[in-house]
Structure 1
Amino acid sequence: RVYCSGVLTISLLLAAVVGAVVPSLVLVTDDRTGGLSLDFHAASCPQLEGIVRGAVQAERGQDVQVTAGLLRIFFHDCLPQGCDASILLDGEKTFGPNASLQPRALQLIESIRAKVHAVCGATVSCADIIALATRDAVSLAGGPSIAMPQGR
Protein backbone atom coordinates (compact mmCIF):
# COMPACT_ATOMS: atom_id res chain seq x y z
CA ARG A 1 0.00 0.00 0.00
CA VAL A 2 2.72 2.46 0.92
CA TYR A 3 4.47 1.47 -2.31
CA CYS A 4 1.70 3.00 -4.43
CA SER A 5 1.72 6.20 -2.40
CA GLY A 6 5.50 6.34 -2.66
CA VAL A 7 5.44 5.88 -6.43
CA LEU A 8 2.91 8.70 -6.81
CA THR A 9 4.95 10.98 -4.60
CA ILE A 10 8.20 10.12 -6.41
CA SER A 11 6.54 10.80 -9.76
CA LEU A 12 5.34 14.20 -8.58
CA LEU A 13 8.70 15.14 -7.13
CA LEU A 14 10.53 13.99 -10.26
CA ALA A 15 8.14 15.99 -12.44
CA ALA A 16 8.90 19.05 -10.35
CA VAL A 17 12.66 18.63 -10.62
CA VAL A 18 12.68 18.14 -14.39
CA GLY A 19 10.55 21.24 -14.83
CA ALA A 20 7.11 19.87 -15.57
CA VAL A 21 4.28 22.20 -14.70
CA VAL A 22 2.58 20.72 -11.66
CA PRO A 23 0.07 22.72 -9.59
CA SER A 24 0.21 22.74 -5.80
CA LEU A 25 -0.95 19.35 -4.66
CA VAL A 26 -2.43 17.74 -1.62
CA LEU A 27 -2.14 13.98 -1.36
CA VAL A 28 -5.25 12.83 0.45
CA THR A 29 -5.41 10.03 2.94
CA ASP A 30 -7.53 7.11 1.86
CA ASP A 31 -7.31 3.35 1.80
CA ARG A 32 -4.49 3.50 -0.78
CA THR A 33 -2.08 5.33 1.55
CA GLY A 34 -1.73 2.48 4.02
CA GLY A 35 -2.96 4.49 7.00
CA LEU A 36 -0.80 7.54 6.35
CA SER A 37 -2.21 10.91 7.35
CA LEU A 38 -1.28 14.56 7.00
CA ASP A 39 -1.39 15.15 10.76
CA PHE A 40 0.17 11.89 11.96
CA HIS A 41 2.85 13.65 14.06
CA ALA A 42 0.77 16.71 15.05
CA ALA A 43 0.50 15.65 18.70
CA SER A 44 3.76 13.71 19.15
CA CYS A 45 6.04 16.20 17.38
CA PRO A 46 4.38 19.50 16.49
CA GLN A 47 7.80 21.04 15.70
CA LEU A 48 8.59 18.43 13.03
CA GLU A 49 7.75 20.46 9.94
CA GLY A 50 9.74 23.49 11.14
CA ILE A 51 12.79 21.45 12.12
CA VAL A 52 12.91 19.65 8.79
CA ARG A 53 12.28 22.72 6.64
CA GLY A 54 14.79 24.83 8.58
CA ALA A 55 17.53 22.23 8.24
CA VAL A 56 16.88 21.70 4.53
CA GLN A 57 16.77 25.44 3.90
CA ALA A 58 20.08 25.96 5.73
CA GLU A 59 21.75 23.12 3.82
CA ARG A 60 20.43 24.39 0.46
CA GLY A 61 21.99 27.74 1.35
CA GLN A 62 25.35 25.95 1.46
CA ASP A 63 24.84 23.53 -1.45
CA VAL A 64 21.83 23.54 -3.79
CA GLN A 65 22.85 20.11 -5.08
CA VAL A 66 21.52 18.62 -1.85
CA THR A 67 18.07 18.73 -3.50
CA ALA A 68 19.17 16.22 -6.12
CA GLY A 69 20.87 14.14 -3.43
CA LEU A 70 17.72 13.99 -1.29
CA LEU A 71 15.53 13.17 -4.28
CA ARG A 72 17.83 10.31 -5.22
CA ILE A 73 17.84 8.96 -1.64
CA PHE A 74 14.04 9.11 -1.58
CA PHE A 75 13.85 7.34 -4.94
CA HIS A 76 16.27 4.58 -3.91
CA ASP A 77 14.50 4.12 -0.57
CA CYS A 78 10.96 3.96 -1.90
CA LEU A 79 11.47 1.60 -4.82
CA PRO A 80 10.82 -1.27 -5.17
CA GLN A 81 9.34 -2.19 -1.78
CA GLY A 82 8.02 1.05 -0.32
CA CYS A 83 9.48 3.83 1.79
CA ASP A 84 11.02 2.32 4.91
CA ALA A 85 14.37 4.14 5.39
CA SER A 86 16.28 0.90 4.76
CA ILE A 87 18.52 3.00 2.50
CA LEU A 88 20.10 4.39 5.69
CA LEU A 89 21.38 0.99 6.82
CA ASP A 90 25.14 0.66 6.42
CA GLY A 91 24.85 -2.40 4.19
CA GLU A 92 22.33 -0.69 1.92
CA LYS A 93 24.24 2.59 1.60
CA THR A 94 27.21 0.78 0.09
CA PHE A 95 25.30 -1.70 -2.09
CA GLY A 96 25.46 -1.28 -5.88
CA PRO A 97 23.99 2.00 -7.14
CA ASN A 98 23.43 3.19 -3.56
CA ALA A 99 27.19 3.50 -3.09
CA SER A 100 27.17 6.76 -5.05
CA LEU A 101 24.44 8.45 -3.01
CA GLN A 102 25.42 11.98 -2.06
CA PRO A 103 27.17 11.86 1.35
CA ARG A 104 26.11 15.42 2.19
CA ALA A 105 22.44 14.52 1.69
CA LEU A 106 22.82 11.39 3.83
CA GLN A 107 24.46 13.51 6.56
CA LEU A 108 21.60 16.00 6.34
CA ILE A 109 19.06 13.22 6.96
CA GLU A 110 21.08 12.05 9.98
CA SER A 111 21.35 15.61 11.28
CA ILE A 112 17.61 16.15 10.95
CA ARG A 113 16.91 12.82 12.67
CA ALA A 114 19.12 13.81 15.59
CA LYS A 115 17.39 17.21 15.93
CA VAL A 116 13.89 15.72 15.69
CA HIS A 117 14.66 12.96 18.19
CA ALA A 118 16.27 15.45 20.59
CA VAL A 119 13.12 17.60 20.56
CA CYS A 120 10.39 14.96 20.23
CA GLY A 121 11.98 11.68 21.22
CA ALA A 122 12.08 8.77 18.81
CA THR A 123 8.51 9.33 17.63
CA VAL A 124 9.22 10.17 13.98
CA SER A 125 10.47 7.50 11.59
CA CYS A 126 13.49 8.05 9.41
CA ALA A 127 11.27 7.24 6.42
CA ASP A 128 9.06 10.23 7.27
CA ILE A 129 12.14 12.42 7.71
CA ILE A 130 13.45 11.42 4.27
CA ALA A 131 10.06 12.09 2.69
CA LEU A 132 9.59 15.48 4.37
CA ALA A 133 13.16 16.63 3.68
CA THR A 134 12.84 15.68 0.02
CA ARG A 135 9.49 17.42 -0.26
CA ASP A 136 10.92 20.59 1.29
CA ALA A 137 14.04 20.55 -0.89
CA VAL A 138 11.96 20.22 -4.06
CA SER A 139 9.62 22.99 -2.91
CA LEU A 140 12.54 25.29 -2.04
CA ALA A 141 13.99 24.59 -5.49
CA GLY A 142 10.82 25.96 -7.08
CA GLY A 143 8.88 22.72 -7.37
CA PRO A 144 5.36 22.10 -6.17
CA SER A 145 4.24 22.41 -2.59
CA ILE A 146 3.02 18.95 -1.60
CA ALA A 147 1.18 18.06 1.60
CA MET A 148 3.09 14.89 2.47
CA PRO A 149 1.22 12.13 4.28
CA GLN A 150 3.15 10.83 7.30
CA GLY A 151 3.19 7.75 9.48
CA ARG A 152 5.64 5.44 7.72
Structure 2
Amino acid sequence: MDSVKGPLRKLFCCELKYARYDAADGQWILKIDGRNVPVLWVWLQGSVKLKGKGRMQVVLSDTTGEVNVIVCSRMEKHITALPFDNWCNLIGELVQPTKLADSAVVSVKAKKLVNVNLSDNPFPKKSWAAQVYDYHQWLKQHAATEDAQ
Protein backbone atom coordinates (compact mmCIF):
# COMPACT_ATOMS: atom_id res chain seq x y z
CA MET A 1 0.00 0.00 0.00
CA ASP A 2 1.19 3.46 -0.83
CA SER A 3 1.50 5.24 2.52
CA VAL A 4 2.35 8.46 0.68
CA LYS A 5 -1.26 8.61 -0.49
CA GLY A 6 -2.60 8.09 2.98
CA PRO A 7 -3.02 5.57 5.76
CA LEU A 8 -5.54 2.78 6.03
CA ARG A 9 -8.84 4.10 7.43
CA LYS A 10 -11.22 1.95 9.50
CA LEU A 11 -14.72 2.93 8.43
CA PHE A 12 -18.35 1.90 8.36
CA CYS A 13 -19.88 1.41 4.91
CA CYS A 14 -22.31 4.29 5.46
CA GLU A 15 -19.44 6.75 5.87
CA LEU A 16 -18.38 6.25 2.27
CA LYS A 17 -21.69 7.77 1.11
CA TYR A 18 -20.33 11.11 2.31
CA ALA A 19 -16.94 10.89 0.66
CA ARG A 20 -16.36 13.47 -2.04
CA TYR A 21 -13.79 13.31 -4.78
CA ASP A 22 -11.56 16.37 -5.12
CA ALA A 23 -10.58 16.28 -8.79
CA ALA A 24 -8.05 19.10 -8.35
CA ASP A 25 -6.09 17.10 -5.77
CA GLY A 26 -7.04 13.71 -7.21
CA GLN A 27 -8.14 12.35 -3.84
CA TRP A 28 -11.17 11.38 -1.83
CA ILE A 29 -12.08 13.52 1.19
CA LEU A 30 -14.25 12.33 4.04
CA LYS A 31 -15.49 14.45 6.92
CA ILE A 32 -14.88 12.52 10.14
CA ASP A 33 -15.97 14.22 13.35
CA GLY A 34 -16.01 17.61 11.63
CA ARG A 35 -12.57 17.30 10.08
CA ASN A 36 -11.74 16.74 6.40
CA VAL A 37 -9.64 13.61 6.14
CA PRO A 38 -8.04 12.33 2.91
CA VAL A 39 -9.01 8.72 2.24
CA LEU A 40 -7.58 6.27 -0.26
CA TRP A 41 -7.15 2.93 1.56
CA VAL A 42 -10.05 1.61 3.61
CA TRP A 43 -10.55 -1.26 6.01
CA LEU A 44 -14.17 -2.33 6.13
CA GLN A 45 -15.98 -5.30 7.62
CA GLY A 46 -19.29 -6.77 6.61
CA SER A 47 -21.14 -9.44 4.69
CA VAL A 48 -20.33 -9.98 1.03
CA LYS A 49 -23.20 -10.60 -1.35
CA LEU A 50 -23.11 -11.23 -5.09
CA LYS A 51 -24.94 -8.41 -6.82
CA GLY A 52 -25.35 -9.83 -10.29
CA LYS A 53 -24.40 -12.56 -12.70
CA GLY A 54 -21.43 -12.61 -15.03
CA ARG A 55 -18.72 -10.15 -14.13
CA MET A 56 -18.12 -10.09 -10.38
CA GLN A 57 -20.52 -7.53 -8.99
CA VAL A 58 -20.25 -7.57 -5.23
CA VAL A 59 -21.70 -5.54 -2.38
CA LEU A 60 -20.23 -5.38 1.12
CA SER A 61 -22.82 -4.51 3.75
CA ASP A 62 -22.48 -3.86 7.45
CA THR A 63 -25.07 -2.75 10.00
CA THR A 64 -24.88 0.85 8.68
CA GLY A 65 -25.09 0.51 4.91
CA GLU A 66 -23.41 -0.99 1.89
CA VAL A 67 -20.74 -0.23 -0.68
CA ASN A 68 -20.02 -1.53 -4.18
CA VAL A 69 -16.85 -3.59 -4.41
CA ILE A 70 -14.80 -4.21 -7.53
CA VAL A 71 -13.31 -7.69 -7.41
CA CYS A 72 -10.47 -8.93 -9.59
CA SER A 73 -10.88 -12.26 -11.36
CA ARG A 74 -8.42 -14.06 -9.05
CA MET A 75 -10.82 -13.45 -6.11
CA GLU A 76 -13.94 -14.80 -7.85
CA LYS A 77 -13.54 -18.38 -6.65
CA HIS A 78 -12.91 -17.20 -3.08
CA ILE A 79 -16.04 -15.05 -3.04
CA THR A 80 -18.38 -17.66 -4.46
CA ALA A 81 -17.12 -20.10 -1.79
CA LEU A 82 -18.02 -17.79 1.13
CA PRO A 83 -20.76 -19.09 3.43
CA PHE A 84 -24.13 -17.32 3.25
CA ASP A 85 -23.72 -15.78 6.71
CA ASN A 86 -20.17 -14.61 6.05
CA TRP A 87 -18.50 -11.71 7.83
CA CYS A 88 -15.37 -10.48 6.11
CA ASN A 89 -12.47 -8.08 6.44
CA LEU A 90 -12.00 -6.02 3.29
CA ILE A 91 -8.91 -3.97 2.57
CA GLY A 92 -9.44 -1.86 -0.50
CA GLU A 93 -8.68 1.27 -2.44
CA LEU A 94 -11.24 3.92 -3.32
CA VAL A 95 -11.38 4.33 -7.07
CA GLN A 96 -12.14 7.39 -9.14
CA PRO A 97 -15.85 8.06 -9.11
CA THR A 98 -18.40 7.20 -11.72
CA LYS A 99 -21.21 9.67 -12.22
CA LEU A 100 -24.80 8.68 -11.52
CA ALA A 101 -27.21 11.60 -11.83
CA ASP A 102 -25.45 14.51 -10.12
CA SER A 103 -23.42 12.64 -7.53
CA ALA A 104 -20.24 10.62 -7.52
CA VAL A 105 -20.66 6.98 -6.51
CA VAL A 106 -17.89 5.51 -4.41
CA SER A 107 -16.57 2.06 -5.24
CA VAL A 108 -13.88 0.11 -3.45
CA LYS A 109 -11.38 -1.99 -5.38
CA ALA A 110 -10.71 -5.05 -3.23
CA LYS A 111 -7.06 -5.75 -2.48
CA LYS A 112 -7.61 -8.31 0.27
CA LEU A 113 -10.76 -10.09 1.36
CA VAL A 114 -10.69 -12.49 4.30
CA ASN A 115 -13.56 -14.38 5.90
CA VAL A 116 -13.70 -13.77 9.68
CA ASN A 117 -13.67 -17.01 11.65
CA LEU A 118 -16.69 -16.71 13.93
CA SER A 119 -15.23 -19.22 16.37
CA ASP A 120 -12.38 -16.74 16.97
CA ASN A 121 -14.76 -13.80 17.26
CA PRO A 122 -18.42 -14.73 17.87
CA PHE A 123 -19.50 -11.06 17.95
CA PRO A 124 -17.76 -9.49 14.94
CA LYS A 125 -20.32 -6.74 14.37
CA LYS A 126 -20.05 -5.43 17.94
CA SER A 127 -16.27 -5.67 18.05
CA TRP A 128 -15.96 -3.93 14.65
CA ALA A 129 -18.22 -1.10 15.83
CA ALA A 130 -15.98 -0.66 18.88
CA GLN A 131 -12.84 -0.66 16.72
CA VAL A 132 -14.22 1.97 14.33
CA TYR A 133 -15.37 4.10 17.27
CA ASP A 134 -11.90 3.85 18.87
CA TYR A 135 -10.27 4.79 15.56
CA HIS A 136 -12.52 7.86 15.24
CA GLN A 137 -11.62 8.88 18.79
CA TRP A 138 -7.93 8.49 17.96
CA LEU A 139 -8.40 10.66 14.84
CA LYS A 140 -10.16 13.31 16.90
CA GLN A 141 -7.34 13.31 19.48
CA HIS A 142 -4.70 13.37 16.77
CA ALA A 143 -6.43 16.34 15.09
CA ALA A 144 -6.56 18.23 18.39
CA THR A 145 -2.83 17.61 18.91
CA GLU A 146 -2.03 18.85 15.38
CA ASP A 147 -4.20 21.95 15.83
CA ALA A 148 -2.46 22.78 19.12
CA GLN A 149 1.00 22.71 17.51
Same fold by TM-score, threshold 0.5 exceeded?
Answer: no
| Larger strand percent | 2
Structure of higher CA gyration radius: 2
Higher RCO (C-alpha 8 Å, min separation 6): 1
Instruction: Report the TM range for the smaller structure's normalisation.
Output: under 0.3
TM-score, structure 1 as length reference? 0.24
TM-score, structure 2 as length reference? 0.25
